[in-house]
Every structure is written in C-alpha cells, then in structure tokens.
Amino acid sequence: MKKTILLFTFILFSILSPFYQAQAVEEKGWVSQADLPEPRSHAATAAVGDKIYVIGGYGKSYATNTTFVYDSKKNEWSKKADMPIKLAGSAVAVVKDKIYVMGGNTLRKSHVENSSKLLIYDTKTDKWEEGADVPKKSFLGTAVAIDNTIYLMTQQETSTPNHFSYNTETNKWETKANGQPNSKAAASAVVNGKIYYIGGGSTNSGSNTIYEYDPVKNSWIKKGYAASVWYTSAVAYEGKIYIIGGRLGTYYDPTNMVQVYDPVTNTASKMDESIQFARAGAGNVVINNELYTVGGASSYPTESYTMKSVEKYTIKSTSSTNPDQGTNDGNGTKPDDGTQSDDGDALLVITMVNGLQKEYQLSMKEVNAFLKWYKQRDAGEGPGFYAIDEHDNNKGPFESKKDYVVFKNIMMFEVNKYK
C-alpha cells in the first residue's frame, strides 16, 4: 500500500534555498522609498545628519565613482561630486561631517586591483581630498569610528596585520592588535565604546561568530554567535546592533533576514519583519530611529545583479525571536509543540545554525518526545541537549549510536510523517 506523507514544518529561523528569487515579501514594517538613480552594490554607504551618501560601488558590472545623496525628509536623491577614482567594496566611516572611504576594488574591463587609497569627502563643501594611504591594500573590509579615530579591519591574503587605526586629526595610521579572523565581507558596529566584528567568511562559507574589541585595552575576545552571514553591514541603535540581509552561510543567493544582536545579553535575534527584497552587498544605515537598506545585489555573482531598491523600517521595539533559541513562529506568535498521535513513523530533519542537516527515521512516539523536550527547553526548562537514537543508521562494531543535539545550535527542524 502506498504511504501518504503529511508534512509539517517548524521554522525557527529563516533560511533561503539557493534557488531563491528576489521577490517582494508581504511583510509588515519595511516600506519602499525612492529608488537609487542607478543600481549599486558594495558601495560606501554612510549617514550624515538626515542624509544618506552612496559612494562608488558596483554598477551593472564595474566599479563606479559616483556620489549620490538621499534626503530622508524629502525622499529624494541628488548627485554630488564624483570620487577621484572608481572603487567598490570599500570600507567606510564617518567623523563629524566627513566620510572616509578606505580601500576597495578598481574593477574595470582590463584591470583589477585592490586599492590602498584613503579618500575623504566633505559633505559641507562637496569636495574630495586624499588622506594617508591605508597600510595595506584592502577589499571588502569593514570600519567604524570612535570619536576622532577610525578602526579598519581588512581582509588580506595573509592574516597579520589586518587591523589598523587612523587618527583623523594627525592623518596617521597605527597597527592594532589582531584577534578577529581574516575574513572578507564582515560587518562591524560600535556599542558603548566597544567594537563588534560580525560574520564575514572565506572561500564559500560564512562565519557565525561575533568578536568584541576593546580599544582601551587593545584586545579582542570571542563574544557570541549569530546566523552565519557575510556580504552585509551592521548598524547600532540604542545599544543593539542590526544586521540586515547578506549571504547566509554557504548559500550564494542573499537573504532577506534581519538580525538583532544585544551585547548585554550576548544573544542574536531574528527580527519578525524581514526586508522586502533579499540583498547582499547593500548599504545599511540608521537615521534617528529609522533603519535604511540601500541597493545591494539580488543574486550571485553580485556585480551582475545590482539593485536600485531602498527600504525603510521604523524601530518600535526590539522584541523578537532568538535564532539559536527561537520562541516565535515568525509572525509574533509562539507555536505549540506540534505533538500528534504516537502512531506511525516519520522523518525528522534538523538543520543546525552552521548549515549542517541531519535526518532521522523515527517512530512518531520518538518524534513527540523530541518535540516535548524542545518545548520545555524553549521555556527555559530541561537539559540543553537531546539524545536521538540512530537505530538502523548505526554503523561499526557498536551496540548503539546516539546523536546529541544541542538546543542552541538548532536553526530549524521539520517532521515528515508517514501515514
């Protein structure tokens, strides 16, 4: 007799397949704004006052040198003085009324080279000047500013040194302590005088680790975890860090997920309201209590799928679900444990935060026991891990084999029940 498969899925964390197509998602919260004048990804994007500046970046195929400015009060774009050279994938930071653009790639038809240039744009005079060269050529680095000092974390062919500071008053660079990984396309933000280095990756895999740098002690510590994301940027607001879009884990195509990291509780959360369009290499900024995501790329390779789209989200509350310890179903409601009759068998599929997927052929009685444990652990009760019997998958001269699944490492799971 042919079996009928009943499928029910508990999604605790938004994960996209590689075949995802960038389409508008019917989510509340994010509102479309006036499009960029031209498509851009991997641009140096920064907010000064009530305006957003989008500098350089990839156009349809090649690096550009344009400077566009968005007036958030008028919802209008205008053009400013071009950057002296064409650059994409530059790090960017703001000190007072000036925007500092560091490194980047000079991709054009016959020449590809990473840059060591420091270019400074004065938003008051609409003029460019050149600062002291970055100590190393860099591409897809990340930077933040604390007072008059800029901290640049670069991605290099060799691991050391890859962390520098720049004094905007003396125009001098200084080598700082390494401690963060030699990653590309990571994000960074500042909260309470500490720098947080988030995600990034190498080869075809993103990182889920967050590192904290103390500028006073000139030292790093491994802090916490978020979803494995890279080709994104992060913005800080009221003590929390918002990580918008990017490439998720080992997937090439981008995500529309928004994460919130709280350095105080050292937990990362998935915000209920996703951005409308999945995007990587976008510019993310905050003006007052409004988040903006600007441009980016809708697919891989990113330079070929650049976007004009701009979205805005007004921050009302930071309550959300923890990606490692999810409590909501993505719509602000808490799911029940989903237990069903103990009759029959099922395929339990568990996806971990690092992208690893495990499948278990179990009885429904065993599945319901797992669901009961998960619900209790979600409420803060019971052990932090669960033992799953491998049954017929046991190989080798062993009497039994069990997999111990750690609660905080579960991204999502689904149950495929046979009837």
Q: Which of 210, 258, 227 is nearest to 354 (CA)?
A: 227
Task: Give the Cα separation of 138 and 141 in Å (integer).
Answer: 6
Within-domain flag for 261? yes
Q: Are residues 263 and 351 in the same domain?
A: no
Average pLDDT over residues 223-227: 88
Whole-number pLDDT of residue 330: 30
H helix intervals, 33-82: none
Q: Are residues 293 and 154 in the same domain?
A: yes
Within-domain flag for 181? yes
Q: Are residues 75 and 123 in the same domain?
A: yes
Average pLDDT over residues 195-200: 92
Within-domain flag for 9? no
Q: Are residues 246 and 373 in the same domain?
A: no
Task: Give the Cα separation of 145 and 188 in Å (integer).
Answer: 10
Q: Which residue(s) pair with 283 in the sheet?
A: 294
Residue 47 clears pLDDT 90, i.e. is over it: yes
Domain termination residue (choose one: 281, 314, 347): 314
Say if CB 102 and CB 90 are below 8 A apart: yes
Within-domain flag for 327? no
Whole-number pLDDT of residue 28: 57
Write the burial class of residue 18 (CB in 10 Å: 0-12 exposed, 13-18 middle, 19+ buried): exposed
Q: Are residues 201 and 88 in the same domain?
A: yes
93 band by pLDDT with thresholds 50, 70 and 90:
very high
Region of 416 on the Ramachandran plot (φ > 0 left; ψ -120 to 50 alpha; else beta): beta
Whole-number pLDDT of residue 173: 97
Residue 170's identity, in one-letter code, is T
Whole-number pLDDT of residue 189: 96
Task: Give the Cα separation of 183 and 181 in Å (integer).
Answer: 5
Instruction: State the residue range of the domain holding 141.
Output: 30-314
Within-domain flag for 96? yes
Residue 394 clears pLDDT 80, i.e. is over it: no
Measured from the Cβ of residue 166, the count of other Cβ atoms closer than 10 Å reads: 25
Residue 321 clears pLDDT 70, i.e. is over it: no
Among 136-140, 182-186, 367-371, name the one with the lowest average pLDDT: 182-186
Q: Are residues 402 and 299 in the same domain?
A: no
327 band by pLDDT with thresholds 50, 70 and 90:
very low
Task: Give the Cα separation of 12 and 323 in Å (integer).
Answer: 7
Q: Which residue(s) pair with 163 in the sheet?
A: 153
165 band by pLDDT with thresholds 50, 70 and 90:
very high
Measured from the Cβ of residue 407, the count of other Cβ atoms closer than 10 Å reads: 17
Is the pLDDT higher at 323 or at 291?
291
Q: Which of 281, 288, 221, 230 is nearest to 259 (CA)?
A: 230
Whole-number pLDDT of residue 74: 96
159 band by pLDDT with thresholds 50, 70 and 90:
low
Residue 113 clears pLDDT 50, i.e. is over it: yes
Among 1-10, 48-57, 90-99, 381-390, name the one with the lowest average pLDDT: 1-10
Q: Are residues 269 and 231 in the same domain?
A: yes
Say if CB 200 and CB 181 are below 8 A apart: yes
335 band by pLDDT with thresholds 50, 70 and 90:
very low
Whole-number pLDDT of residue 238: 92
Q: Are residues 198 and 135 in the same domain?
A: yes
Q: Mean pLDDT over all residues of the chain? A: 82
Q: Are residues 70 and 129 in the same domain?
A: yes
Residue 345 clears pLDDT 60, i.e. is over it: yes
Say if CB 10 and CB 349 are below 8 A apart: no
Q: Per the structure, how many domains does the chain have?
A: 2
Task: Give the Cα separation of 391 and 166 in Å (integer).
Answer: 59
Angle at 291 between CA 193 and CA 166, to 5 degrees: 35
Residue 228 clears pLDDT 50, i.e. is over it: yes
Q: Are residues 86 and 218 in the same domain?
A: yes
For the chain, how big is the Rg over CA atoms in Å? 23
Determine phi and psi for 366, rounding to 5 degrees.
-70, -40
Average pLDDT over residues 368-376: 86
Is the pLDDT higher at 317 or at 399?
399
26 band by pLDDT with thresholds 50, 70 and 90:
very low
252 band by pLDDT with thresholds 50, 70 and 90:
low
- Name the percent of the chain lying above pLDDT 90: 49
Within-domain flag for 16? no
Name 15's Cβ contacts closer than 8 Å, sequence gap at least 6. Answer: 248, 249, 251, 255, 351, 411, 412
Say if CB 243 and CB 237 are below 8 A apart: no
Q: Are residues 211 and 147 in the same domain?
A: yes
Q: Are residues 287 and 358 in the same domain?
A: no
3-state SS, residue 409: helix
Within-domain flag for 19? no
Residue 415 clears pLDDT 90, i.e. is over it: no
- Hey, what are 136's tokens? 């190393």
Q: How many helices (H) and strands (E) does the chain have?
A: 1, 34
Average pLDDT over residues 306-331: 62
Whichever domain contains 117, its CATH number is 2.120.10.80
Residue 1 clears pLDDT 50, i.e. is over it: no
Within-domain flag for 78? yes
H helix intervals, 256-345: none
Domain termination residue (choose one: 314, 346, 375): 314
Average pLDDT over residues 342-364: 82
318 band by pLDDT with thresholds 50, 70 and 90:
very low
